[in-house]
Amino acid sequence: MNFKGFFIGMVLLSLFSVSIIMFGFTLQADNNVNQTILDNPQLNRTFGQINQTIYSAHANASGARGSFEQEQNPVEGVGEITFTSITTAGKNFGSLTVGIMNIIFITIQQTLGIPPIVIIALSTIIIISIILLIWRVIKAGE
């Protein structure tokens, strides 16, 4: 499994974990169960940490994208042909894609009432995928 697949798997795993716990908690809270699953201190702590991790992963991915776009274009080596224009184009299209994605995701979230954590997890996956795709364009021209 490559890095991208592993990263996406980890983010989806944390999202699934939060969903399972939230499903149980909501079901129990709606039916007036005395002791809900989140009353267990260990599970409550795990739930909070997973939430926090997803939010910080999104912040880190956004930071990584900013750093990536601010980096200087690669310098040509001896006997190597580098087209700096494709690098700039890749970065610009990356920003454009993330901008469109944010607008669409906000609309979907507000229309369908999706919890913000779901959008943030998906957004993190897409940002990392875009960075790796741009890097692939710069490296191999694919």
Partner 1 sequence: MFNILFMPYRTLDQYNQSEGIPIVLQAAAETAPILIPLILFGLFTIVMLSTYFSQRRLTGRGNFAASFAVAGYVLVIVAFVMSLIPNIITTTVLIACVVISIIGTMFLLLAGRD
Q: Name the site residues for partner 1 (rule: CB under 8 A).
A: 1, 5-6, 9-10, 12-13, 16-17, 20-21, 23-24, 27-28, 31, 33-35, 37, 39-40, 42-43
Sign of the CA dihedral with 132 first, then 134, 139, and 142 last: positive
Q: Judged by CB, which is closer to partner 1: 12, or 104? A: 12
Q: Give least dist CB 13 to partner 1, A.
A: 5
Amino acid identity of residue 35, one-letter, is: Q
Three-state SS at 16: helix
Q: Judged by CB, which is closer to partner 1: 102, or 129? A: 129
C-beta of residue 71 within 8 angstroms of C-beta of residue 94: no
Q: Judged by CB, which is closer to partner 1: 5, or 77? A: 5
Q: How far apart are CA 58 and CA 101, in angstroms?
A: 14
